[in-house]
């Protein structure tokens, strides 16, 4: 099956009678951007990824992205060959993960020219914040005005709806009341009132987000991190996490990238227990090429803090070998810190509590 045929098949599963029109709208986006192969994974244990915000390294009189580039050339290359640039777009909250404009570089960081220059020396990972967008974005402001097609871009729910089954990582209200030109609407906000969830039941939302994905590939992304993707599709009466439609959308993104830039790698940010996490490999060939190895950071922390490698060794021995086209992304901490949930079942409650107390005793912050 060609990537085009695979895309058409998944559109039919997602959108039924609207699939053909959606496919025709997608066709102009399927022109190749760069050649490549899907036969092998272009990563190995020799690849080292540095994670950084665009303004982490600064010097007077120049764009931080340019300064970061100089710093990496002098102190990191060639040992580090890949840079994960945390969101460098204009944003309104959540350290960049509430994007105002997917197509712009935060002027405080620099310009697209700085990023395109950086990609000449390093492979780049971009964040694709695909679940939600800033309340200050053009799209959401048009939604508030109830201007088509934006009036269907966001997931709205009557406030009396039973949403007790929904799984989410925040304790803030799931629905946020907003005033629109058509009256009060309650929009779905998985993470915060400033981060409005997109409605992928609307085919034009998928098309718009694939346009963004293509734009990132055109501007240097060779790895795409799918932020918070586990929550992407909503279905009332379910837990709204890891839904089959979410996996279909990721598979469609893989088919899309196989069409335009086959060497592009998808990595899912799914901070969940191991068996749920590896479900994003799909069949080993049709979904993400990489998933974060989320149990590793808390297990390494436990090993170093307690001087006991038993749990880490037992876990490492239990890992299955991914297919030749998939692998784990090993890391020791991220911009979110070290999550303890993936250690569930690998460390006892007492061991986890001991780490919490050790962190607090050393001035560390713990969120619940």
Residue 84, both tokens: 């994960």
Q: Which of 121, 227, 255, 283 is catalytic?
A: 227
User: 195: helix, coil or strand?
Assistant: strand
Name the maximum alpha-carbon separation found in the chain.
Answer: 61
Distances (CA, A) of 359 to 76, 312, 347, 356, 365: 30, 19, 16, 5, 7
Cα(232)–Cα(270) distance, integer angstroms: 11
Distances (CA, A) of 7 to 68, 204, 255, 259: 38, 15, 6, 10
Peptide bond into 149 cis (omega under 30): yes
- Sign of the CA dihedral 229, 238, 367, 177? positive
Residue 138, both tokens: 């053009």
Give the angle subtended at the CA of 174 by the CAs of 252 and 163, to the nearest 5°.
85
227 among known catalytic residues: yes
Phi and psi angles of residue 158, each rounded to the nearest 5 degrees, phi first = -60, 140
Q: What is the dihedral of CA 162, 99, 211, 178, to 10 degrees?
A: 40
Cα(347)–Cα(193) distance, integer angstroms: 34
Q: Which residues are catalytic?
A: 227
């Amino acid at each position: 099956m060609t990537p085009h045929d695979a895309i058409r098949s998944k559109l039919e599963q997602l959108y039924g009678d609207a699939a053909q029109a959606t496919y025709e709208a997608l066709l102009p986006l399927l022109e190749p951007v760069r050649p490549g192969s899907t036969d092998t994974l272009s990563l190995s244990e020799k690849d080292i990824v540095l994670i950084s915000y665009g303004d982490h390294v600064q010097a007077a009189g120049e764009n931080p992205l340019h300064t970061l580039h100089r710093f990496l050339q002098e102190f990191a290359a060639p040992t580090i060959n890949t840079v994960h640039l945390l969101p460098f777009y204009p944003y309104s909250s959540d350290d960049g993960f509430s994007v105002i404009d997917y197509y712009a570089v935060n002027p405080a960081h620099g310009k697209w020219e700085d990023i395109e220059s950086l990609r000449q020396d390093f492979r780049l990972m971009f964040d694709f914040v695909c679940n939600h967008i800033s309340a200050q974005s053009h799209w959401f402001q048009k939604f508030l005005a109830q201007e088509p097609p934006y009036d269907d871009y966001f997931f709205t729910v009557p406030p009396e709806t039973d949403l007790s089954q929904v799984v989410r990582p925040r304790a803030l209200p799931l629905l946020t009341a907003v005033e629109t030109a058509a009256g009060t609407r309650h929009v779905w906000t998985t993470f915060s009132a400033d981060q409005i969830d997109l409605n992928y039941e609307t085919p034009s939302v998928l098309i718009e987000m694939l346009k963004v994905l293509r734009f990132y590939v055109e501007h240097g992304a060779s790895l795409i991190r799918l932020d918070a993707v586990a929550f992407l599709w909503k279905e009332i009466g379910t837990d709204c996490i890891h839904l089959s439609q979410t996996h279909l959308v990721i598979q469609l993104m893989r088919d899309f990238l196989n069409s335009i830039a086959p060497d592009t790698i998808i990595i899912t940010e799914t901070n969940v227990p191991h068996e749920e996490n590896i479900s994003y490999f799909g069949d080993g060939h049709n979904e993400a090429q990489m998933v974060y190895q989320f149990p590793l950071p808390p297990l390494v922390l436990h090993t170093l803090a307690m001087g006991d490698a038993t749990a880490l060794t037992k876990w490492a021995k239990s890992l299955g070998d991914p297919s030749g086209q998939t692998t784990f992304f090993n890391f020791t901490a991220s911009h979110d810190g070290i999550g303890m949930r993936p250690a569930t079942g690998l460390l006892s409650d007492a061991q986890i509590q001991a780490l919490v107390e050790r962190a607090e005793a050393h001035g560390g912050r713990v969120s619940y």
